[in-house]
Amino acid sequence: MTRRFEGKSVFITGAARGQGRSHAVQFAREGADVAISDICADVATVPYGLSSEDDLLQTVRLCEAEGAHVLSARVDVRDYDELSGFAAVAERELGKIDVLVANAGIFTFGALTELSSEQFGDMIDTNLKGTWHAVKAVVPGMARRGYGRVVIIGSSASLIGYPNVGHYVASKHAVLGLTRSLALEQAPNKITVNCVCPTGVHTTMLENEAAYALMSPENPTLEAALPVLASMNPLGEPWLEPEDVSRMVLFLASDEARYITGAEFKVDMGLTAP
């Protein structure tokens, strides 16, 4: 059976674990070669541990087990030189980049009137500026070849507001705007650009003590947070699994979605339907 991404090369940021790892493994399983990056270090304003080099190496092993040619690097998406340098290596080694998945992101907490400049800055620099850096590094090569698929990972917070994470909401609203503008700019180059907007996903971004405290201040535990998370989603489950998001990402990167661009796709259990 022909695999959908045989002969394609995919560039994914934030791929050491969680959603990014799931996307990478699913693309590899469908025949793609992958270039994956992650920061592999903590950020002072983020209240949970970020990825490690071992995490990134595990993603490499999982993708190689699917038969993929894999390139990997420690990259902080806030640093354009780091990101563009790895993109250049990937384009040279893999021959081209057909698909960009701008996945890297962080999630921190605090009322807008109480956030520090560092918290706000790290959020915007990672989630928004990091996405733009990936676009700036990868899309020109797609434009030269007249083909490309860009999938940007947004959030239900791209569509609605939430208290106590206003800086996150701002960053995710912004990447949806970036999606729409980039789609219009790159349509003449036969590049499609879309945004996937999931509800909460079962990753370390939600499974940590700071997130539990946001959901259940009086009892900041996983057991107390789960029913609160479930109550937010009309289908009644507390969160998606990363693979639920990957299915939409791969669809939008495939030829089945060749005429879909400038759109947002909700994988949110009905959260934003009202």
* Catalytic residue positions, numbered: 168
Q: Helix or strand or coil: residue 227?
A: helix
Interacting residues of 2 by C-beta distance below 8 A, sequence separation 6+: none
Distances in Å between the alpha carbon of 129 and those of 72, 76, 79? 21, 11, 9
Q: Is 195 within 8 Å of 265 (Cβ atoms)?
A: yes
One DSSP character per residue, 6-48 reads TT-EEEESS-SSHHHHHHHHHHHHTT-EEEEEE--S--TT-SS
95: left (phi over 0), alpha (psi -120 to 50) or beta: left
Tally: H helices and E strands in the chain: 9, 7
Sign of CA dihedral 88, 121, 177, 40: positive
